[in-house]
Structure 1
Amino acid sequence: MKKTILLAEFGTARWADYAPAAGALEGELADAFPGWSVRRAFASSRLAAALTEQGHPTPHLPAALAELAAAGGALAVLPTHLAAGGEYDGLAAQLSALGPRLSALAVARPLLSSGEDCIQVARALLEGILLEEGEGLVLMAHGSRAAGMGPYRPLAAALPQRVALGAMVNGGPEAAGRQLLRAGYRRCALAPLLVCAGGHARREMAGPGPDSWLSRLRGMGLAVRPLHQGLAELPALRALYCRHLAEALAAAGLDSV
């Protein structure tokens, strides 16, 4: 029986951004689940085409799912979503419709699915993002059009006061900056809470314009040190993704080898 792990992502346009983050996750999945082939697919057709043009073939997610369903076999899907929301729910609906055409289907839950997940992610962030003495940290999440920062609040509760979260969608850095200032911090690192730190995120986070998070936080009186690593560059977070996939395989009665 053919067994395929599909890493389902929104996508990023540059292989140089993808390789050290989600590319490293692909390699870790191949090592952890040796009986399975590992593929990637992007929800964005534009970003899938961009990576393909750079010599790294990447299908659009609907096309990849249709191909895998036609081939049959077992499919294990690892979405890189941090939290449940519209995009994850839409993917789950697509997969539910494909289920009868597959011999087996397993779908991993998002990274922040439980209180214990949030504790593990918080620990990985604190261990993996090296802060200087007397420095706080602002994390830039994507956010949700419907719920804003809501999906990230359990993670925020698991983090110390020196770490503040903000969202690109229906949010911004101001609340995070105020949290650090109230806690007595005048310096902070600024990092993306994103699997890959692609070009759009880099520009919104640390671009030279007045609307970037870097400029806005500096305008609040904070000295800001931007960092550009994606979450999947942190070994502990890659391990958590692998754990979620292993749990999904076990729930579906599938072996990891």
Structure 2
Amino acid sequence: MEHKAAIVLAMFGTTVESALKGLLNIHAKMTVRFPAIPVRIAFTSNIIRRRWQKRAADPAYLHAHPDIPVEILGVRTVLAVIADLQDQGYDSIVLQPTHIAMGEEYLDLGTYVDSLLRMGTVKKTKYKPFHKIALGRPALGTYGPIHPYADDITAAAKALAADAEMARAARAALVYMGHGNEHFPSAGSYVELARRMRTLHPDVLTLIGNVEGFPSLDDVIGELQRSEAKRVLLKPFMVVAGDHSVKDMAGPEEDSWKSVLEQEGFEVHAVERGLGEIDDFANIFVRNAAEAAADAGIFLK
């Protein structure tokens, strides 16, 4: 029997309209790479989905924001999107997260895949809801011998070459603000990425700090002071330049990263541009989806 394939992009989401560019760029890159395959968007954040549902029901908001895509206004959960695809006859799904590291949300997606694949039928196997479901890797990779995480970190570092060049031109240290996690040991990937960036661009001090967990902003400040840096190019190490970027990173509040760094005597230039807006970085997720499909034996046209 013929098996129909589809791709689902599992995104945390954002409520900041300008930040949608990062998500939509990833979607656009995926549709260009696989023009004959439906590519659907799902948001994993309940709060963000509810905000968009409220906006979609508000005529005044729709009139003021005519450029918001229908896919965002009607965004659904991962399971809802997969259920719709199954109802439309798609039984081979590539679930590609747009997460940075292997944290709790990525592990949650793994449980979804395991549960869906266990669904069967009493009669013939061919009547199972799904033939195959593949879970793609986050940007900085995951564990296992098939796709070494170190290669993913190197690919991510190379995709950020333009950031290093921007910092070099400004004679500034390159500081990224990541999200991080207090409960999962994903910080090692961030630290290793910063080290890889410094290896590729030895004349640019690259550091990554996290909003949650290690390394913190204090850790970053310590490294900047030890290196006697004077200027800082500050960027979000997140797929979108959403609330964290607007408020926590570059906001006017005295506890924003920009304000704290300036209080410490650094000259700071903040660039509110999500990683998803960088074509080379967006293509990492396209590559990961293609490799997940190939590993699972799912044919993507």
Residues in 1 aligned to 2:163 and 2:219: alpha-carbon distance in whole angstroms: 24
In the alignment, is the contact (CA less than 8 A) between 1:143 and 1:170 conserved in 2? yes
Residue among 262, 267, 289 paired with 1:223: 267
Residues in 2 aligned to 1:31 and 1:109: alpha-carbon distance in whole angstroms: 20
Kindly provide the amino acid, as one letter, of the partner of residue 6 in structure 1.
V
Residues in 2 aligned to 1:162 and 1:111: alpha-carbon distance in whole angstroms: 22
Residues in 2 aligned to 1:33 and 1:180: alpha-carbon distance in whole angstroms: 43
In the alignment, is the contact (CA less than 8 A) between 1:43 and 1:62 conserved in 2? no
Deviation at 1:63, TM superposition (A): 2.5
Kindly provide the amino acid, as one letter, of the partner of residue 27 in structure 1.
A
Written as runs of structure 1 = structure 2, the 5 A alignment for 1:245-256 is 245-256=289-300
What's 2:108 paired with? Answer: 90
Per-residue deviation, residues 53-96 of structure 1 (Å, max 9, x unmatched):
25532112333234345555111111011111221111111111
Residues in 2 aligned to 1:120 and 1:255: alpha-carbon distance in whole angstroms: 24
Q: For structure 2, which runs of at least 5 residues remain unmatched after alignment? A: 57-61, 63-69, 120-128, 142-148, 199-203
Per-residue deviation, residues 13-44 of structure 1 (Å, max 9, x unmatched):
133211x2110110110010122101111111
Kindly provide the amino acid, as one letter, of the partner of residue 35 in structure 1.
A
Deviation at 1:134, TM superposition (A): 1.4
Deviation at 1:106, TM superposition (A): 1.4
Q: For structure 1, which runs of at least 5 residues remain unmatched after alignment? A: none
Cα 1:186–1:128 change in 2 (3 A) is: closer
Q: Does 1:116 align with 2:151?
A: yes
What's 2:125 paired with? Answer: none
Deviation at 1:200, TM superposition (A): 3.5
Q: TM-score, normalised by structure 2?
A: 0.79
The list of structure 1 runs, each at least 4 consecutive aligned residues, that deviate by more than 6 angstroms after superposition, is: none
Residues in 2 aligned to 1:226 and 1:133: alpha-carbon distance in whole angstroms: 12
Residues in 2 aligned to 1:69 and 1:186: alpha-carbon distance in whole angstroms: 55
Residues in 2 aligned to 1:97 and 1:70: alpha-carbon distance in whole angstroms: 18
Residues in 2 aligned to 1:151 and 1:134: alpha-carbon distance in whole angstroms: 26
Written as runs of structure 1 = structure 2, the 5 A alignment for 1:169-208 is 169-171=212-214, 172-208=216-252
What's 1:149 paired with? Answer: 187
Per-residue deviation, residues 76-126 of structure 1 (Å, max 9, x unmatched):
111011111221111111111012431221111111111111112112213
Q: Does 1:158 align with 2:176?
A: no
Residues in 1 aligned to 2:77 and 2:111: alpha-carbon distance in whole angstroms: 17
Larger C-alpha radius of gyration, 1 or 2?
Answer: 2
Written as runs of structure 1 = structure 2, the 5 A alignment for 1:55-70 is 55=70, 56-70=73-87
Kindly provide the amino acid, as one letter, of the partner of residue 143 in structure 1.
G
Q: TM-score, normalised by structure 1?
A: 0.92
Equivalenced residue count is 256
What value does the CA root-mean-square deviation take over the aligned residues? 1.9
What's 1:103 paired with? Answer: 131
In the alignment, is the contact (CA less than 8 A) between 1:10 and 1:42 conserved in 2? yes
Q: Does 1:14 align with 2:16?
A: yes
